[in-house]
């Protein structure tokens, strides 16, 4: 339903979904909220683990401000978090072999008996820079978001540099640090969960009744890795636009560059945009296009000879465009991974959000998404290597090397029988207009579940997949409505605790600048 441009809803700030009215302050929590007591209790529970430092901080100010670099501030980090309930922060430094991981737990004095596992994004899996202001329209809850709803919540540095860095590469040797890789892949997320639950129970002197995890993108990968590797950790998990097949889609970011180099033909931003406009026209305009539930079909050859803002469309232009849409493949035609839907703007100018970007509007050289080269260096174990001259054959070789080396991180294991037997519930959502992670990879995972468990009716009892037309990469300000944080979590909690399967979830599309409600919709399971 389209809404008037003047109608506003405070959707971004409407973060409360859990009723805290029947909960009271935990008695004598201040007596247990000290370093000595928490250390003693943790060492009882985990006698073989080494906790090098434990600190406890009481915050009753209602405000928290995280330190952030200028780059992190561009993404919203470092803004003050306000309207917080009274809580205790417990920070734990924990040894993992030669490295130390940093666990941060916030536990409100008025606790709802539930634990919230949070996640990161990109190559970051958590940490203090993810203690950001709650945003109901960015999928993947933060520690403050969960705490405002009465959950004890945790986040974790994995012993590496948090952020978009080569953090698994040893700076001195250039070699992959397998210990750090394992921390990043799954171990630290699991440790965050078991230690975070323990802290909640130690502080409040009662057990965790339910545990939930939610994350988007790289955080969605973390969610599915938990379900697949530690099925007892969580009762309910919501993975949004999950980075399933991490290796495949990051290597896919090199494909447009490889195509243009192979064909020795540059496709300008203006001509790229023109092809998108022609796709929209075929399907009745942009608005109609972003309401489609089926993959659009389009042959770029149909545009040859047309005048575009970038000049006449040539056959060479069409060949490049078709190859990009087709996606990575071997010379014999065997597909390596999916391309993007015709009409999906999986590229940007200047800003590296998308499969690839143009450094300038006039540049005749494109660059892959920022994480692509970082990840490729994990494969080559050469921190200084560039890939600007990579040929098609070299690309395929690198693709195969990564598949062999990092197959344990694909997060595509459908054998989640233990999670299902324990009563676990799994929600997955993905936007059809995701410019980073092809939706088809997520659909493939759902199909694997259906095959493994013997039918959709069985899978429907524990997993629901929502594919939303026009929805973007983990937010509600794309070209179509998406699930808000509160709507998704409310649905997941009701499913886990009341058995109410989420057949329909309310969705919204907003103006990212002023929060104006532009459109409402309903997400239905696949």
β-sheet with 482-483: strand ranges across: 482-483, 505-510, 517-523
Q: Which of 71-80, 270-279, 477-486 has the lowest mean pLDDT?
A: 71-80
Mean of pLDDT over the chain? 93
- pLDDT at position 8, please? 47
pLDDT at position 4, please?
40
pTM: 0.95
Q: How confident is the model at residue 183 (pLDDT cuts 50, 70, 90)?
A: very high
pLDDT at position 53: 97
Does the structure show a pLDDT above 50 at 7?
no
Residue 510's pLDDT is 94
> With 90 as the cut, is the pLDDT of residue 95 above it?
yes
Model pLDDT, residue 175: 85
* Per-residue confidence (pLDDT) for residue 76, from 0 to 100: 61
Q: Which residue spans of the chain are classified as CATH 3.40.50?
A: 29-245+410-461+469-523
31: left (phi over 0), alpha (psi -120 to 50) or beta: alpha
Six-digit token pair at 460?
A: 């429907």
Q: Kindly give, in sequence order, each residue whose CB lies less than 8 Å from that of residue 361, ignoring residues fewer than 6 positions away.
A: 269, 349, 350
pLDDT at 166: 63
The predicted pLDDT at position 421 comes to: 98
At residue 2, what are phi and psi to the nearest 5 degrees? -75, 140
Q: 53-62 pLDDT, tens per residue?
A: 999 999 999 9
The alpha-carbon radius of gyration of the chain (Å, integer) is: 23
In sequence order, which residues have a C-beta less than 8 Å from that of residue 191 and are 6 or more positions away?
94, 96, 101, 103, 156
Is 354 or 56 the better-scoring residue by pLDDT? 56
Q: Which of 80-94, 153-167, 375-389, 438-452 has the lowest mean pLDDT?
A: 153-167
Classify 127 in phi/psi space as left (phi over 0), alpha (psi -120 to 50) or beta.
left
The answer to whether 301 touches 276, Cβ cutoff 8 Å, is no
Name the pairing type of β-strands 347-349 and 356-358: parallel
- Residue 359: other Cβ atoms inside 10 A: 13
Q: What pLDDT score does 202 carry? A: 98
Of 511 and 72, the structure prediction assigns the larger pLDDT to: 511
Report whether pLDDT(169) > 90. no
What integer pLDDT is reported at residue 5 of this predicted model? Answer: 38
Does position 164 have pLDDT exceeding 70, yes or no?
no
Partner residues linked to 95 by β-bridges: 100
- Per-residue pLDDT for 238 more than 60? yes
Distance between CA atoms of residues 244 and 223, nearest Å: 10
**Token reading at 56:** 């406890």
In this structure, what is the dihedral angle of CA atoms 184, 187, 189, 192, given to the nearest 10 degrees?
A: -130
Place of tokens 């945009």: 273
Cα gap 507→291, rounded to integer Å: 13
CA separation for the pair 22, 26 (Å, rounded): 12
Whole-number percent of the chain with pLDDT over 70: 94
Mean pLDDT of 71-99: 85
- Distance (Å, whole) CA 107 – CA 147: 7
The model's pLDDT over 273-305, given as tens digits with 9 standing for 90+, comes to: 999 999 999 999 999 999 999 999 999 999 999
DSSP state, residue 270: H
Cα–Cα distance, 128 to 407 (Å, whole number)? 29
Name the architecture of domain 29-245+410-461+469-523.
3-Layer(aba) Sandwich (3.40)
Range in 168-172, 283-287, 500-504 the model is least confident about: 168-172
Spell out the residues 6+ positions from residue 304 whose beta carbon is closer than 8 angstroms to its own.
313, 314, 315, 317, 318
230/224 Cα distance (integer angstroms): 10
Hey, which residues does 510 pair with through a beta bridge? 517
Choose the weakest-confidence range: 93-97, 174-178, 259-263, 316-320.
Answer: 174-178
Strand positions, DSSP E, 158-259? 210-216, 236-240
Which pLDDT band holds residue 6 (cuts at 50, 70, 90)?
Answer: very low
């Amino acid at each position: 339903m389209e809404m008037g441009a003047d109608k506003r809803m405070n959707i971004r700030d409407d973060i409360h979904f859990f009723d805290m009215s029947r909960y009271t302050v935990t008695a004598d929590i201040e007596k247990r909220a000290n370093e000595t007591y928490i250390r003693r209790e943790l060492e009882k529970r985990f006698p073989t683990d080494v906790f090098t430092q434990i600190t406890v901080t009481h915050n009753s100010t209602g405000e928290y401000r995280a330190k952030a670099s200028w780059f992190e501030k561009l993404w919203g980090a470092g803004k003050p978090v306000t309207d917080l309930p009274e809580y205790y922060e417990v920070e734990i430094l924990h040894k993992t072999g030669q490295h130390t991981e940093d666990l941060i737990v916030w536990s409100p004095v008025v606790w709802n008996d539930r634990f919230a596992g949070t996640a990161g994004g990109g190559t970051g899996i958590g940490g203090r820079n993810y203690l950001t202001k709650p945003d109901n329209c960015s999928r993947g809850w933060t520690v403050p978001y969960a705490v405002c709803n009465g959950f004890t919540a945790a986040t974790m540095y994995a012993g590496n540099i948090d952020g978009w860095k080569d953090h698994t590469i040893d700076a001195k040797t250039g070699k992959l640090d397998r210990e750090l890789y394992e921390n990043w892949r799954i171990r630290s997320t699991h440790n965050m969960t078991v230690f975070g639950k323990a802290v909640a129970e130690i502080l409040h002197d009662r057990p965790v009744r339910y545990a939930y995890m939610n994350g988007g993108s790289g955080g969605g990968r973390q969610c599915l890795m938990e379900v697949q590797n530690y099925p007892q950790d969580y009762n309910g998990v919501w993975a949004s636009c999950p980075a399933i097949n991490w290796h495949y889609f990051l290597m896919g970011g090199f494909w447009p560059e490889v195509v243009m180099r192979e064909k020795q033909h540059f496709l300008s931003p203006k001509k790229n945009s023109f092809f998108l406009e022609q796709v929209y026209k075929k399907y009745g305009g942009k608005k109609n296009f972003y309401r489609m539930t089926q993959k659009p079909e389009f042959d770029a050859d149909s545009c040859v000879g047309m005048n575009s803002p970038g000049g006449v469309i040539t056959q060479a232009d069409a060949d490049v465009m078709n190859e990009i849409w087709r996606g990575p493949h071997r010379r014999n035609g065997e597909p390596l991974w999916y391309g993007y839907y015709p009409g999906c703007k999986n590229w940007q100018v200047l800003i590296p959000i998308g499969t690839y970007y143009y450094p300038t509007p006039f540049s005749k050289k494109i660059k892959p998404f920022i994480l692509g080269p970082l990840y490729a260096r994990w494969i080559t174990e050469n921190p200084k290597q560039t890939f600007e001259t990579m040929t098609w054959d070299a690309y395929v070789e690198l693709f195969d090397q990564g598949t062999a080396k990092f197959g344990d991180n694909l997060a595509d294991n459908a054998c989640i029988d233990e999670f299902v037997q324990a009563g676990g519930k799994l929600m997955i959502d993905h936007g059809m207009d995701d410019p980073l992670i092809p939706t088809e990879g997520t659909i493939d995972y759902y199909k694997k579940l259906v095959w493994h468990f013997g039918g959709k009716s069985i899978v429907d009892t524990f997993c629901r997949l929502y594919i939303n037309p026009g929805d973007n990469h983990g937010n509600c300000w794309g070209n179509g409505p998406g699930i808000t944080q509160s709507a998704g979590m409310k649905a997941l909690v009701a499913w886990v605790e009341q058995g109410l399967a989420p057949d329909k979830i309310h969705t919204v599309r907003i103006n990212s600048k002023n929060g104006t409600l532009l459109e409402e919709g309903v997400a239905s399971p696949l």
